[in-house]
Amino acid sequence: MNLNQSIQRYAVVLAMIAIAVASRLLPHPPNFTPLAAMCLFAGAVTVTPRLIAAAVVVAMLISDAVIGFHGLMPAVYAALLANFVIGQKLVGQNAGALRVVGGSLLGSVSFFLVTNFAVWIAVYPSTMTGLAACFTAAIPFFQYTLAGDLLYSGLFFGVFALVANREQSALRTKLAMQPARIAE
């Protein structure tokens, strides 16, 4: 990949981050945001996702400054950033639909477990009954997390694949139109 392609790829990912964070400020069902899917996508398509991970944290901090800070932010941020690792290790750059769906499902489940475990520690009694009550109360929210993650993952990876296919097609057309070189 040349420098121009790298810059374009990072620009696309950063634009997706801006859109994803802005979507937190619009009315939406609980946990139905593109943030986890965006992290999964960025982990899969960027060679060095540290810059993107830092951008996500900064963008989350900015949007949380508008929405309101809370004590569970470290758990939420950690669960979101785990999607980078899932994107890198499970999905990868040339991911098919099965890997994207699998990564999205794993991200949704890990977000549910991590954030609700943090809620249990912060809010509920430190008993097995408290743990069960916490996770039971969280079940209705999981459908939104799952639906949002699957929808937005499909959207991000689908658009990216369409753009990549269009670029490859344009390159093939350009190469086909060049005159053949005669070996001397």
pLDDT on residue 172: 66
Whether residue 153 lies inside any domain: the answer is yes
Give the mean pLDDT of 54-63: 82
CATH number of the domain encompassing residue 98: 1.10.1760.20
Specify the pLDDT at position 182. Answer: 57
When mean pLDDT is compared across 61-70, 121-130, 167-176, the lowest value belongs to 167-176
In a domain? residue 128:
yes
- Residue 116 within a domain: yes
Residue 59 lies in a domain: yes
| Predicted confidence band of residue 17 (pLDDT cuts 50, 70, 90) | confident
- Residue 178: the pLDDT is 64
Calpha distance 44→49 (Å, rounded):
9
pLDDT of residue 1: 62
Higher pLDDT pick, 156 / 126: 126
Has residue 117 been placed in a domain?
A: yes
Structural domain of 70: 3-170
pTM above 0.95?
no
Smallest Cα–Cα separation from 75: which of 121, 41, 22? 121
DSSP letter for each residue of 89-138: III-TT--HHHHHHHHHHHHHHHHHHHHHHHHHHHS-SSHHHHHHHHHHH
33-42 confidence digits (pLDDT tens): 888 998 898 8
Highest mean pLDDT among 23-27, 105-109, 164-168: 105-109
| Cβ proximity of 80 and 111 under 8 Å | yes
Residue by residue, what is the 3-state secondary structure of the chain?
A: CCHHHHHHHHHHHHHHHHHHHHHHCCCCCCCCCCHHHHHHHHHHHCCCCHHHHHHHHHHHHHHHHHHCCCCCHHHHHHHHHHHHHHHHHHHCCCCCHHHHHHHHHHHHHHHHHHHHHHHHHHHCCCCHHHHHHHHHHHHHHHHHHHHHHHHHHHHHHHHHHHHHHHHHHHHHHHHHHCCCCCCC
127 falls within a domain = yes
How many structural domains comprise the chain? 1
The tens digit of pLDDT for each residue in 97-150 reads: 999 999 999 999 999 999 999 999 999 999 999 999 999 999 999 999 999 999
Q: Is residue 158 part of a domain?
A: yes
Q: Which of 113, 116, 56, 112 is closest to 84 using CA atoms?
A: 56
Looking at the predicted structure, is the pLDDT value of residue 170 above 80?
no
Supply the pLDDT for residue 183: 57
Within-domain flag for 133: yes
For residue 2, the model assigns a pLDDT of: 74
Query: How much is the pLDDT for 171?
Result: 62
Average pLDDT over residues 56-62: 83
